[in-house]
Structure 1
C-alpha cells in the first residue's frame, strides 16, 4: 500500500465522496433532521439567530453552531435537503481526515492511519450520521481534531502555543456543536487512557494548557452567557429540562450497550476479535499504541453505560477508537507476512473474519435478484452488471483469504461499499419508503395558501416532521375557547375532517374548503412503523359570505 501522504489524502477524499455525498437525498428526513432543519429555517425567516425557535417555541436545549451552518445553507439554497446533508458529510469527512492525522502521528505510520480512516468511513453509524443532517457528527469531528492537536502538543517539546491554541478552538466549537457531549463521550475517555498509559511530561506545558482551557471557555460560554443575560428564565428552564432528560428519559439498564460492536457494521467481527487484548498484547507490532486504543474504546463504553439515558446513536464516538483498534490487526498481519509469515492461529483468525465478509459479497447478488429483479424493480442488464461487480469483489476477497492479503481484503470492502452507494442506494431506499406517500409538502406549491397562517387543534398530536414538510409554523389552537384565531382565513391541519373537528359555534361563522388529505408516512402500509398520526386533513377556513 503506497505511503505518500498526498496520495492517501486523494484516496480518502474519493472514498468519503462516495460514502457521504452520492445519492444522499434518497432517504426521507427523520424526526431529528426535521427538528434541526425547522430550527434553521426559522432562523432565516424570523431572524432569530441567537435565540433559536422550533415551530415558534424557543429551542435552547442545543447549542446553535450546527443550526447556524444549516441556516447558512438555507440562505444560499432554500429547502435543499441534499446540500444540508452535504454539510454533515463535510463534517464526517473532516472526522475521517482527523483520524488519519491522529493515527499517523500516534504510530508514526501513515499506512496505519490510512487503514484506520478507511475502517472508520465504512462503519455503519458513521455512514448514517454523515449522510443525514443531524448534529452529532459535528461535535465529535471537532473534538477529534482537538484531541489530535492536544496529543501533538504533548508529544513535542516546548510550549506548543499553536497546537494548544488549535485544540482550544476546536474544543470550543465542539461545545457549540452539542454542549458537553463529546467532552464526556470522547475527550474524557482519551485523557484517562492517555495520561495513565503515556504519562506525558508537563514541562513548559502548564501555561499554554491554561490558555487552551481559556480559549475553549471563551468560545463555549459566550452563547450560554448571552442567554442568561437576556433570556434567563427560559435558559434555566432549558438547562433543567436537558439535564433531567439525561436522568429520566430513555432510561436503560447499564448493560444496554453490550452490542456496541454492531454499530461498526461490516467490521463487527473484526472489532470483537481486535478487542481480545490478552491474545494480541504480545503479538501486535505497536503494543503501547494498541493498548491505548483498547483502553480508549472500553473507557468510552463504560462512561456511556454509566449514564441513565441510552440510545444507540450515542455510541457514535466509540467507533473512533474502535477503528484504531481494528487497524492494528491489519498492520500486524501485514508486518508478520513480510517478516516470517503468519502463525497458524493468526491465519485462522484472518480467514474467519475475512470469510464472513466474503460471504456477504456472495450473498448480495442473490439479495439483489430477490428484492429487485424478481420484483420488476430492476432491468436484466442492470442486474447482470451489478451482480458481476459483486462477484468481482467476491473474487478479490477470496483471493485475499487464500493468499493472506489483508490490504487486498480491505480494498475489497471499500469497493463493496462503492457498488452499494453508487448503484443500489436509490433502490434500497425505495424498499423502505412509502410509494403512496402524499406529503403535506404539497401545500408549499398552493398559491392561495401563501402567507396564510396554519393551526392545528391543541389537543391533537402534531408530528414535527409535518411542520418540516409544510415549510412553515403550524401553531396550536385552543378550540375549547370557542374563539377563532386572530384573522381569517387560516388553514386547519387536523386528524379528522374539519366538520367533525370544529365546534358548532365556529362552524356557524366560517366556510370550509378541503385542500386535501395528506399521508406523510414514509414507511408503506402494513409496516409496523405506519401510523395514522401522519395522516392529516388540510382545510382552508374562510369567512362565511353573508
Structure 2
C-alpha cells in the first residue's frame, strides 16, 4: 500500500470518519441517554432554559450543558424531528477526536505511519463508533480531554510555548468538565498522569509553576461556573440531584472488581490483536519505541484499574480506555507489518490470522448468512442487501487472499474498508428486524388533544423516550405531591401496571382505558423488549 503517502493521511482519516460517523445517522431509535439530551435541548430552544436546564419541565442538572447546547444549536438548524441533525455534533467531535489522536500520536510516537494506523484503529473501534453516532455526552468529554492531554504533554515535555500549551490544555480540560463533569478527568486524564509520571517523569519544572497555575485557573473557571450558577439560583434542587447521583455510583449497577477485565473486547474487530498488544513480556523486545509503548500500555491499564474501583460499572464506561488502547494496539500492528513475512513464527501469526481471517470470512459469506437471517424480512431491503453483498464479498475474498499471501498491510486497510461499507451501505438493514405489530407512537397525541379539547397529562415520571416521542412537554402529575387538574375531563399517560396508583390518586373520577402506546421496535417475544417503552392512556372524568 505504498500509494498511501504521508501527505494524504489527514484526508484519508476525514474520509474514513465521514463514512463511519456521518452516514445513516437516523437508522437507530433514540436510546434513553439520547432522549434525555434531546428533550433538554428542545426545551432550551422552546422555553429558553439554557442555563437552568430542564427535562419535561423538571430540573435536569445531572449533566453539564455543553453537549446539550450543541444539540440545541443543531436542532435549530436541522429541526428537532431530524435525528441525523441532532446526532451530527457527536459525529463532528468524534472526527476531531480521531484527528487529534493522530496529531498526538505523531508527537509522542515519533512515527507518522504508526500515528495514522492508531487513528484508524481508534475510528473503527466498536464503542467509539457507537458513541460517535449517538447524541450523548461521553464522546464530547473524552474528545475535549484528549485535546487537553495533547497540549499538556507538550507543556510537560517542552521548554517552548509554555504559556500557550498550559492555557490551551486548561481550556480543553475545562470543556471536558463542561461535557460530563469529572468523568474523563478520572477515567482518561488521571491514568495519563500516572503513566507519564512512571515513564517520562517531570523535568525542568521550576519555570513552569506559574503557567501551571494558569492552567489550573482556566480549568477551574470553565469547570465551576455553571455548577456555581445553578447552586446560586436553584441550590436545593441541585443538592438533591447531586446526592442522588452520588448514591447511584455506589448502589446502582454494582459489579465485581474484575468486571472490566475483558475491556479489549470493546475494540470490536481489533479484539484479538488488541489483547496481544497488552502482552508486555512478548512485545517489549519487538517494538521500535519501547518508551512510548510503555506509556500507552500503562495509560491503558491504569484507566482499567481506576474504573474497576468504582462500584457502578457499565460496558459503555470503558469508552475512554479505547483511546490509549488504540495506541497500544498500533505497536503490535507495526511489528506485524514489518515482520510478518520474515521474522514472525507460526504461533505468533495465529492471532493475526484469527483476527483478520474471521472478518474476511464474514465478508465472503455475508450474502448467505444475511439471507438466512433476513429472507422473510427483505421486502423493501433487497437493493441495499444486494449492494452491500456486492461490496463485502470481494472485500472478504481479498482479505483472505492477501492474508494467505502474508500481505498484512493490505489486509489491514481492507478491514477499514469493510467497516466503512458495513456502516454506509449495510447498517440500514437493521431496520429489517423492526417488526413490532403493536408499535404506536405518541406523536399524534398533542394534535388529538387540540382536536378533542381534552388536555393530556403525564402521571408520574416515565421513560424519557416516551416524552421525546411525544414531541413537547407533557404536564406532569406527581402521585406523591398531587395537584388535581382544574379540568373536569382529561387524559393521563400511565406506566404499565400503575392503574391502581392512578385510581388511588383520583378516587372520585371515572377512569376509562383508551389505548396503549408502544415504542418498542421489536415485539414482546424477543429479548430486548422493554416495558418502560410502553405507556397506557386513560380518560379521567370527574363524577
TM-score by length of 1: 0.90
**Deviation (angstroms), 1:267:** 0.8
Out of 96, 104, 107, the residue aligned to residue 105 of structure 1 is: 107
Q: Which moved more, 1:394-403 or 1:163-172?
A: 394-403
1:251 and 2:250 are equivalent in the alignment:
no
Cα separation, partners in 2 of 1:291 and 1:504, compared to 1, 3 Å: closer
CA distance in 2, matches of 1:349, 1:497: 51
CA distance in 1, matches of 2:384, 2:84: 25
CA distance in 1, matches of 2:374, 2:67: 37
Query: What is the match of residue 286 of structure 2?
Result: 283
Q: Which moved more, 1:249-258 or 1:449-458?
A: 449-458
CA distance in 1, matches of 2:377, 2:323: 39
CA distance in 2, matches of 1:249, 1:499: 27
Partner deviation per Cα, 1:490-529 (whole Å, 9 max, x = no partner): 4321358999965562339xxx895x54222222231133
1:23 and 2:24 are equivalent in the alignment:
yes
1:267 and 2:266 are equivalent in the alignment:
no
Cα separation, partners in 2 of 1:99 and 1:444, compared to 1, 3 Å: farther
CA distance in 2, matches of 1:237, 1:92: 33
Query: What is the match of residue 332 of structure 1?
Result: 335
- Alignment root-mean-square deviation, CA: 2.9
Task: Report SS of the residue matched to 1:507.
Answer: strand
Task: Report SS of the residue matched to 1:231.
Answer: helix
Query: What is the match of residue 391 of structure 2?
Result: 389
Task: Report SS of the residue matched to 1:485.
Answer: coil
Partner deviation per Cα, 1:452-487 (whole Å, 9 max, x = no partner): 7532334xx622211111122334436799974134
Query: What is the match of residue 60 of structure 2?
Result: 59
Q: For the Cα contact (< 8 Å) 2:35–2:464, is it kept in 1?
A: yes
CA distance in 2, matches of 1:30, 1:349: 35
The equivalences for 1:218-367 within 5 A come to 218-336=221-339, 341-367=343-369
**Deviation (angstroms), 1:157:** 2.2
Cα separation, partners in 2 of 1:451 and 1:135, compared to 1, 3 Å: farther
Cα separation, partners in 2 of 1:432 and 1:158, compared to 1, 3 Å: same
CA distance in 1, matches of 2:479, 2:179: 39
CA distance in 2, matches of 1:498, 1:156: 63
CA distance in 2, matches of 1:145, 1:531: 38
1:477 and 2:480 are equivalent in the alignment:
no
1:506 and 2:509 are equivalent in the alignment:
yes
Cα separation, partners in 2 of 1:114 and 1:484, compared to 1, 3 Å: same
CA distance in 2, matches of 1:185, 1:116: 20
**Deviation (angstroms), 1:265:** 0.8
**Deviation (angstroms), 1:327:** 1.0
Q: For the Cα contact (< 8 Å) 1:194–1:292, is it kept in 2?
A: yes
Task: Report SS of the residue matched to 2:508.
Answer: helix
Query: What is the match of residue 523 of structure 1?
Result: 522
Query: What is the match of residue 72 of structure 1?
Result: 73
CA distance in 1, matches of 2:473, 2:348: 60
Out of 216, 221, 224, the residue aligned to residue 213 of structure 1 is: 216
Query: What is the match of residue 46 of structure 1?
Result: 47
Query: What is the match of residue 119 of structure 2?
Result: 117
Q: For the Cα contact (< 8 Å) 2:80–2:86, is it kept in 1?
A: no
Partner deviation per Cα, 1:90-112 (whole Å, 9 max, x = no partner): 11111111111111111121111
Q: Which moved more, 1:250-259 or 1:365-374?
A: 365-374
Q: For the Cα contact (< 8 Å) 1:362–1:390, is it kept in 2?
A: yes
Task: Report SS of the residue matched to 2:70.
Answer: helix
Query: What is the match of residue 167 of structure 2?
Result: 165
Cα separation, partners in 2 of 1:449 and 1:211, compared to 1, 3 Å: farther
CA distance in 1, matches of 2:508, 2:318: 53
CA distance in 2, matches of 1:450, 1:66: 38
Out of 369, 372, 375, the residue aligned to residue 370 of structure 1 is: 372
CA distance in 2, matches of 1:94, 1:481: 46
Q: For the Cα contact (< 8 Å) 1:119–1:327, is it kept in 2?
A: yes
CA distance in 1, matches of 2:483, 2:239: 34
Q: For the Cα contact (< 8 Å) 1:146–1:170, is it kept in 2?
A: yes
**Deviation (angstroms), 1:219:** 0.7
CA distance in 1, matches of 2:383, 2:82: 33
Q: Which moved more, 1:461-470 or 1:171-180?
A: 461-470
**Deviation (angstroms), 1:215:** 0.7
CA distance in 1, matches of 2:397, 2:296: 32
**Deviation (angstroms), 1:350:** 3.0
How many equivalent pairs are there? 537
TM-score by length of 2: 0.91
The equivalences for 1:445-456 within 5 A come to 445-446=447-448, 448=450, 453-456=455-458
CA distance in 1, matches of 2:8, 2:452: 52
Q: For the Cα contact (< 8 Å) 1:138–1:174, is it kept in 2?
A: yes
Partner deviation per Cα, 1:397-417 (whole Å, 9 max, x = no partner): 123312322321121111211
CA distance in 2, matches of 1:222, 1:328: 41
Q: For the Cα contact (< 8 Å) 2:518–2:533, is it kept in 1?
A: yes
Query: What is the match of residue 421 of structure 1?
Result: 423
CA distance in 2, matches of 1:499, 1:321: 50
1:175 and 2:177 are equivalent in the alignment:
yes
